[in-house]
Amino acid sequence: MKKVVKFGGSSLANAEQFRKVGNIVLAEEDRRYVIPSAPGRRFPGDTKVTDMLYSCYHLAESGQDFSAALQNIRDRYEEIIQGLGLDLDMEPEFETIEASFRARVGEDYAASRGEYLNGIVMAAFLGYTFVDAAEVIAFDEDGAFDDKKTDKQLSRRLEDIPKAVIPGFYGAMPDGSIKTFSRGGSDITGSLVAKAVHADLYENWTDVSGFLMADPRIIKDPVTIPTITYREMRELSYMGATVLHEDAVFPLRKEGIPINVRNTNCPDDPGTMVVESTCNKPRFCITGIGGKKGFASVTIEKAMMNTEVGFGRKVLQVFEDVGMTFEHTPSGIDTFTVLVNQHEFEPHEQQVIAGLHRSVRPDLIELESDLALIAVVGRGMRRTRGTAGRIFSALAHAHVNVKMIDQGSSELNIIIGVENRDFETAIKAIYDIFVIAQL
């Protein structure tokens, strides 16, 4: 079996965490390719190394003295190296970083050095080969990720390397300059490596024991989801469950490689398996509950709109013209509602209203703000009658007024709109009826 393992910043914050990671990797011969993030926070109020690098580079870019800031970063790595008892001299690397900062080579280069340096330390600690991501992760001249070139370079480079450490988060442009993914991009690097080496499993190690059925800030000790499909995970990720970087899923899904989300601090916990499809029946009717606050609704009323060809297209064109995306579009015979991000909508609301009047000549336009959307997700809902009825019964019992409902034909999720003030109450009510009542 061949496994690719990625470790987040909290898993590599200090020497103690490094030792945990080392024990995990070396416990199984199958864990052959390791993708480390930069060191995260060691304690509440601490600063992530990536943020330290950003601050340091901004000083250099503005012509200020950045020597003390760079020394603080150097001290973080020396603390880890000494704590691991390694004979590793990082001074040449820091001299190169200092010279590059003075030459103002770019913010992406600065941000990437956290993963780069951690990769060198990790390779020395494990006795694995270090492979610089800049040599194998490719971006084109426009800064767009080049998946075909990357897959070819990674496959060729790792073909004869049985065990390697490849830093996450960054790659290189055709001219050799460093280019980073968005924050959290180490997940993407891990998935690309897994795809290139045809891994049997991609393990993503973080500080939680997998996906939880609900936000632990709202529900105390929510149940862990043992198995979740890619589609369910995407629905929950969209609604705020950010255990994995969304872009990391697609290379793995394309290859049918399962993901195992595990906890570095509780390595015996099985975590969550993310799979394409499964015959395993979920323990509960629903897989999870996610949600977000801060939405607004724009409802257009017009008699006989259902007979008007192109009505929906004309409405959405108005939002497109002001550069806005929409979340959902529930509709009735004579009503069409567009759910949008309230923060994005407010600067354009009068422009949108005027555009709608010109475009579709509505009888009435009604706006509503301070809405929250809650997604109840689960493949088990397809086989269970009365799911929607149980949801609304639970919400009614909790005195929550439902402002909107939207269910896709796949029956994989039900979206419910409530007022922001009812958000936490609604999630607790839904969790209680589907989970607590079944325990």
pLDDT digits (tens, 9 = 90+) for 97-147: 999 999 999 999 999 999 999 999 999 999 999 999 999 999 999 999 999
Residue 134 in tokens: 């800049």
Q: Which residues pair with 371 in a beta bridge?
A: 295, 419
* Same domain (yes/no): 67, 130: yes
* Same domain (yes/no): 326, 189: no
CA atoms within 13 A on the CB side of 31: 19
What pLDDT band is residue 410 in, cutting at 50, 70 and 90? low
Domain assignment of residue 364, yes or no:
yes
* Same domain (yes/no): 157, 256: yes
* Same domain (yes/no): 301, 264: no
Q: Do the beta carbons of residue 184 and residue 35 sit within 8 Å?
A: no
Last residue of a domain, one of 216, 249, 275: 275
Report pLDDT for 404: 87
Percentage with pLDDT > 90 across the chain: 83
367-377 pLDDT tens trace: 999 999 999 99
Last residue of a domain, one of 226, 242, 275: 275
What pTM does this model have? 0.86
Amino acid code (one letter) for 80: I
Domain assignment of residue 281, yes or no:
no
Question: How far, in Å, CA of 137 to CA of 135, rounded?
Answer: 6
Mode of pairing for the β-strands spanning 364-377 and 413-419: antiparallel
* Same domain (yes/no): 15, 105: yes
226-240 pLDDT tens trace: 999 988 888 887 776
Report pLDDT for 219: 95
State the alpha helices, DSSP H only, in 225-322.
230-238, 249-255, 311-321
Contacts of 333 (CB under 8 A, 6+ apart): 305, 306
* Same domain (yes/no): 340, 382: yes
Nearest to 337 by CA among 295, 383, 308: 295
Q: Do the beta carbons of residue 273 and residue 227 sit within 8 Å?
A: yes
Report pLDDT for 183: 67
Q: Domain range holding 316?
A: 288-438
Question: How far, in Å, CA of 124 to CA of 88, rounded?
Answer: 8
* Same domain (yes/no): 260, 299: no
pLDDT at 438 > cutoff 90: no
Report pLDDT for 242: 65
For residue 286, what is the DSSP state? -
Q: What is the domain-level CATH number for residue 98?
A: 3.40.1160.10
* Same domain (yes/no): 271, 297: no
Nearest to 41 by CA among 52, 28, 29: 52
* Same domain (yes/no): 217, 160: yes
16-73 pLDDT tens trace: 999 999 999 999 999 999 999 999 999 999 999 999 999 999 999 999 999 999 999 9
* Same domain (yes/no): 318, 385: yes
Least reliable range by pLDDT among 269-273, 402-406, 430-434: 402-406
Please report where in the chains the tokens 């020597």 appear, as a residue: 67
* Same domain (yes/no): 268, 292: no
Domain assignment of residue 280, yes or no:
no
Domain assignment of residue 17, yes or no:
yes
